[in-house]
């Protein structure tokens, strides 16, 4: 079944009693709800457990060039959606991969001679100012590459917005309930009396939907216990 942004909005408005079942409101009202929907997705994007997976991308570096602008513009070094956070990275040199250590931009600033060349060891990422005409981040490498290596990054990006009411839902099915019921909560203040409580029939599925997504996206943590001369690990789920 192909769902669109309009389907989610119509369902959400119906849930809060703003419209009759399957009634489509005026265009201006639909567009207001579409903005609310996309604002919600952008908020989810900065919550790591709401994002299904990191995005891996690569680009060929330029010898003796230590910084690269990245964003959705052909005028930048790397024309792709600007990362929110770079989680990990590595350099591929032929068939060998060389992991990079991710450091804060403030630590990169303390490095003395940034013109030293060689196989890069560190990567710092500056997402740039909050307000930019073109959202642009900058990747800094230390050392500056001495060859045209290939840089791979795994980054967290914004969830794809619904560009129009007719845009098709492309998320995994588990996102559907969370989107519908949480959108209903966001639209509630526009249509209900101030102070009127949102019923559990909406808040319950909204919370459950988010909980399902976070459980889907969480990774099992394994704790290591280091004892001199002994190596081992502990699984908190199996108590082994």
What is the DSSP code (8-state) at residue 13? H
Mean pLDDT of 10-23: 90
Confidence of residue 10 (pLDDT cuts 50, 70, 90): very high
Over 90: is that where the pLDDT of 80 sits?
A: yes
Point out which residues pair with 168 in neighbouring strands. 4
How far apart CA 147 and CA 120 sit, in angstroms, is 10
Over 80: is that where the pLDDT of 228 sits?
A: no
How far apart CA 214 and CA 206 sit, in angstroms, is 13
pLDDT tens, residue by residue, 39-56: 999 999 989 889 888 899
Indicate the domain borders of the chain.
Answer: 5-50+159-217, 55-156
Cβ 25 vs Cβ 34: under 8 Å:
no
**CA dihedral in degrees (111, 115, 121, 126; nearest 10)?**
70
**Tokens 């005026």 map to which residue?**
26
**Nearest-CA neighbor of 101 among 83, 77, 119?**
119
CA-based Rg of the chain, rounded to a whole angstrom?
23
pLDDT tens, residue by residue, 193-224: 998 999 999 999 999 999 999 998 886 555 55
pLDDT at position 53: 80
Cβ 211 vs Cβ 25: under 8 Å:
no
How far apart CA 106 and CA 125 sit, in angstroms, is 10
Mean pLDDT of 100-123: 96
How far apart CA 66 and CA 107 sit, in angstroms, is 15
Q: What is the average pLDDT value for the chain, to the nearest integer? A: 91
Percent with pLDDT over 90 in the chain = 78
Cβ 57 vs Cβ 82: under 8 Å:
no
Mean pLDDT of 151-157: 95
Over 70: is that where the pLDDT of 83 sits?
A: yes
pLDDT at position 237: 58
């Amino acid at each position: 079944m192909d769902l669109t942004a309009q389907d989610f909005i119509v369902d959400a408005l119906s849930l809060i009693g703003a419209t009759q079942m399957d009634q489509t409101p005026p265009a201006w009202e639909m567009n207001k709800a579409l903005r609310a929907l996309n604002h919600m997705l952008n908020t989810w994007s900065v919550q790591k457990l709401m994002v299904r997976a990191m995005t891996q991308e690569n680009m060929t570096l330029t010898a003796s060039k230590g910084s690269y602008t990245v964003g959705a513009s052909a005028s930048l070094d790397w024309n792709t959606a600007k990362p929110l956070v770079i989680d990990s990275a590595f350099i591929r040199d032929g068939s060998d991969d060389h992991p990079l250590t991710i450091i804060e931009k403030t630590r990169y600033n303390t490095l003395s001679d940034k013109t030293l060349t060689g196989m890069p060891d560190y990567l710092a990422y500056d997402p740039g100012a909050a307000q930019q005409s073109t959202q642009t981040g900058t990747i800094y490498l230390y050392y500056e590459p001495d060859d045209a290596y290939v840089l791979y990054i795994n980054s967290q990006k914004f969830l794809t917005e619904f560009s129009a009411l007719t845009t098709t839902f492309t998320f995994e099915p588990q996102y559907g309930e969370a989107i519908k019921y949480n959108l209903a909560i966001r639209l509630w203040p526009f249509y209900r009396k101030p102070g009127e409580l949102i019923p559990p029939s909406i808040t319950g599925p909204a919370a459950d939907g988010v909980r399902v997504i976070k459980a889907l996206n969480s990774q099992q943590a394994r704790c290591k216990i280091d004892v001199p001369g002994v190596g081992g690990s502990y699984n908190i789920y199996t108590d082994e």
